[in-house]
Amino acid sequence: MTTDDTREAIERGSRALHEFESWLDQLREAVSSPAPRDFAMLFAADGYWIDYLAFTWRYRTFAGRDEITDAFGRTSEEARMKSIELSSRRPPPKIARRSGVDVLEGFYDYETTAGRGTAYVRLRIDGPEPTVWVMLTTLQELHGFPVRTGVDRPKGREHGAGTENWLDRRTKEQRFDDRDPQVVVIGGGHGGLVLGARLRQMGVDALVIERNERVGDNWRHRYHSLTLHNEVATNTLPYMPYPETWPAFLPKDKLAHWLESYAEAMELNVWTGSEVVTGARDDETGQWSLTVRRPDGEVQITTPHVVLATGGHSGVPKVPTIDGLDDFAGRSMHSTSYRSGTDHAGESVVVFGTGSSAHDIAQDLHENGARVTMVQRNPSAVISLDPCGTMVYAAYSDELDPTDVDFVQAATPYPMLKDTYQWLTRKTCDLDRDLIDGLEKAGFRTDFEPDQTGFHMKYLRKGGGYYINVGCSDLIIDGSISVRQAADIRTVEAGGVRMLSGELLEADSIILATGYENQQEGVRLLFGDEVADRVGRIWGFDENHIMENMWVRTAQDGFWVMGGSLMEARLYSTYLALQIRADLQGVLPRHGLA
């Protein structure tokens, strides 16, 4: 950068800071006004206010001045926003281009009746006065419970502790022989661990229960060739960033080892080789009674809060009804039992499914000498890893703090998200035209949602139905892996799959890469029909375009669900932990305030 460029950047930053500080003065005046409309008039006519707990104790989006006036009028007296200052922990204000519009964006901190918050705001500057296009207000910590990091970190000096050292105390703490936990988190994958870390830093005594023998086994035990399909900058865990030397796309075992290290470094209380076998809640006492099977026998635990953190699915395999499958003479299995293509070398294998796992398994089988046919029931969205697959996560990079980017991503109301994904899908489909055409010619059906919002919206709406190509699509296109349509199958018989045409697809093994049941079925297995029906379906958009019954108080008191990708776990674990902390203190409203 030249001297002139540096000088211009400094001047631009100075102007952005001055303009943002001037707008903060308007905000301070508006929130102190008795007229809620004064706050709403800070917004553009088509502006959005998104709130994560700070005012509403929910995840809510308000569009337009009338909705914002009503919502602020119903919540501002309870929240009592004050002490508004430019955020000292976030990037300084800057001019940026968002959705084709020049904006001034920045962060500010504040206090509410409940605690300390941080907001991200995006101001339109294409008019006579800056107006809010999008504002995201969030609660970050409760009064009296600062997050124990930085200056608030534990001192580590335990004078007068007798003969016990740190390890003695940690061993005792993890056993829970002398107390019951305030929260039991079922599942020690990335979601459960990240939530456990957030809860611990807020002073909540949490126990994580993991049925595998080691933390990280949920990744270690997956198929041999698996790597993550997005980059490390997207997948960083809170408090512990990955080493700068790590590869951009993490192998499964590397991530598994890291999760185990994370649990140890964050001093999480984890029982491995253990599982909750039964559970019920006493509505009079507000306590859950859980039976936990450990390697040393069964124990009873009482706790006011249970969090289901078994991943993005229920753990209950979805096994379709396939005519004749019981007559098949070879090996048949769900993908949960698949380990490596080396177990099928030289075989003819039929893989039912065309989601991400099905593609990865088919490729692994082919690379280990199997003859592979994939059976497609529904069309799938397929995009290239590079350049298209990384575009959705392009905002994340090694140069930026992912938690800052999380704010920007969260501050995207659904209409903007839909427009963005439609634009992105048009671009990726154009870039991937040869890939898509090649797949269609090979008999593979593609689909990018009826509204053309693409693969990531499929993930948000349905939890699957897409594939980021890391090689399997090329094998389909060149004929190394064949594809057949489920509608063209007559039945399965002893020797393989019989097509309507009379052709027999000979098979030594059949693998059902058909996904999992909704997480509600996992709730049903543990806690019965009444609790599962009360909770309802999990995942997919709710009326506020947040994942349904995820990261929020459910209709079942004391029951929560933690799920999503590594990125979503990092973002929403803060707010789920805050709600639990607030409920333990008796300050969480039974229903949201707006």
Across the chain, mean pLDDT equals: 93
Q: Residue 291 pLDDT > 80, yes or no?
A: yes
Residue 1: per-residue pLDDT = 57
Least Cα distance to 313 among 458, 518, 572 occurs for 518
Residue 336: per-residue pLDDT = 86
Choose the weakest-confidence range: 77-91, 396-410, 411-425, 501-515: 396-410
Decide: 105 and 131 in contact? Cβ < 8 Å. Answer: no
State mean pLDDT over 484-495. Answer: 97
- Burial of 297 (C-beta count, 10 Å sphere; 0-12/13-18/19+): exposed
Residue 159: per-residue pLDDT = 56
CATH fold, domain 171-314+520-584, is FAD/NAD(P)-binding domain (3.50.50)
* Residue 313 banded pLDDT, cuts 50, 70, 90: low
Q: φ and ψ at 81, to 5 degrees?
A: -60, 135
Residue 517: per-residue pLDDT = 86
Neighbours of 64 (CB within 10 A): 15
Least Cα distance to 69 among 91, 98, 47, 54 occurs for 47
Q: What is the DSSP annotation of 177-237?
A: TT---SEEEE--SHHHHHHHHHHHHTT--EEEEE-SSSTTHHHHTS-TT-B-SS-HHHHPB
Residue 149: per-residue pLDDT = 82
Tens of pLDDT, residue by residue over 223-263, are 777 888 788 889 999 999 999 999 989 999 999 999 999 99
Per-residue 3-state assignment (H helix, E strand, C coil) for 509-522? EEEECCCECCHHHH
Distances (CA, A) of 414 to 410, 546, 567: 10, 9, 18
Neighbours of 418 (CB within 10 A): 17
* Residue 312 banded pLDDT, cuts 50, 70, 90: low
- The distance from CA 296 to its chain's CA centroid, rounded to whole angstroms, is 34
* Residue 488 banded pLDDT, cuts 50, 70, 90: very high
State mean pLDDT over 558-569. Answer: 94
Least Cα distance to 308 among 557, 563, 588 occurs for 563
Which residues of the chain does CATH 3.10.450.50 include? 10-142
Residue 99: per-residue pLDDT = 78
Tens of pLDDT, residue by residue over 412-440, are 999 999 999 999 999 999 999 999 999 99
State mean pLDDT over 343-355. Answer: 97
Residue 478: per-residue pLDDT = 97
Distances (CA, A) of 501 to 491, 497, 515: 11, 11, 28
Tell me if residue 166 falls in helix, strand or coil.
helix
Q: In this predicted model, which residue has the larger pLDDT, 278 or 395? A: 278
Tell me if residue 126 falls in helix, strand or coil.
coil
Q: Report which residue type is found at 520.
A: Q
* Residue 327 banded pLDDT, cuts 50, 70, 90: very high
Structure token digits, residue 81: 């926003």
Distances (CA, A) of 542 to 35, 109, 458, 470, 546: 31, 29, 15, 32, 6
Tens of pLDDT, residue by residue over 96-141, are 888 788 899 999 999 999 999 999 999 999 888 899 999 999 999 9
State mean pLDDT over 526-538. Answer: 95
Q: Residue 34 pLDDT > 60, yes or no?
A: yes
Least Cα distance to 361 among 385, 342, 379 occurs for 342
Residue 4: per-residue pLDDT = 63
Name the one residue in this structure whose structure tokens are 């926003």: 81
Residue 148: per-residue pLDDT = 81
Q: In this predicted model, which residue has the larger pLDDT, 517 or 422? A: 422
Residue 160: per-residue pLDDT = 55
Share of the chain above pLDDT 70, in %: 97
Neighbours of 259 (CB within 10 A): 24
Tens of pLDDT, residue by residue over 196-218, are 999 999 999 999 999 999 999 99
Residue 425: per-residue pLDDT = 96
State mean pLDDT over 351-377. Answer: 96
- For 318-354, letters b (16+ CB in 10 Å) and e give eeeebeebeebebebebbeebeebeebeebbbbbbbb
Thinking of the domain 325-512, which architecture would CATH place it in?
Answer: 3-Layer(bba) Sandwich (3.50)
Tell me if residue 132 falls in helix, strand or coil.
strand
Decide: 440 and 447 in contact? Cβ < 8 Å. Answer: no
Q: pTM for the whole thing?
A: 0.92
* Residue 387 banded pLDDT, cuts 50, 70, 90: confident
Euclidean distance between CA atoms 71 and 82, whole angstroms: 18
Q: In this predicted model, which residue has the larger pLDDT, 272 or 522? A: 272
Please name the residue ranges forming H helices in 348-413: 356-367, 402-410
67-71, 317-321, 459-463 — most confident range: 67-71
Decide: 370 and 347 in contact? Cβ < 8 Å. Answer: yes
Q: Cα(first)–Cα(last) distance of the chain, in Å? A: 49
State mean pLDDT over 403-408. Answer: 92
Tens of pLDDT, residue by residue over 577-590, are 999 999 999 999 98
Decide: 542 and 548 in contact? Cβ < 8 Å. Answer: yes
Structure token digits, residue 371: 């003859």
- Burial of 423 (C-beta count, 10 Å sphere; 0-12/13-18/19+): middle
Which residues of the chain does CATH 3.50.50.60 include? 171-314+520-584, 325-512
Neighbours of 88 (CB within 10 A): 8
Q: In this predicted model, which residue has the larger pLDDT, 406 or 13? A: 406
Range 10-142 has CATH code 3.30.230.10: no
Q: Residue 8 pLDDT > 80, yes or no?
A: no
For helices 433-441 and 414-431, give the axis angle rounded to 10 degrees.
70
Decide: 20 and 86 in contact? Cβ < 8 Å. Answer: yes
- The distance from CA 64 to its chain's CA centroid, rounded to whole angstroms, is 28
Structure token digits, residue 80: 């009592």
Enumerate the β-bridge partners of residue 115: 142
State mean pLDDT over 465-470. Answer: 93
Euclidean distance between CA atoms 415 and 464, whole angstroms: 21
CA atoms within 13 A on the CB side of 321: 0
State mean pLDDT over 306-323. Answer: 83
Least Cα distance to 197 among 123, 277, 268 occurs for 268
Q: What is the DSSP annotation of 474-518?
A: HHHHTTSEEEEEGGGEEEEETTEEEETTS-EEE-SEEEE---B--
State mean pLDDT over 44-50. Answer: 97
- Burial of 363 (C-beta count, 10 Å sphere; 0-12/13-18/19+): buried
Distances (CA, A) of 41 to 52, 69, 439, 468, 589: 21, 8, 51, 43, 28
Enumerate the β-bridge partners of residue 491: 498
Name the one residue in this structure whose structure tokens are 């776990």: 569
State mean pLDDT over 52-69. Answer: 97
Instruction: Give every CB contact of residue 418 below 8 A, 6+ residues apart in sequence.
Output: 451, 453, 457
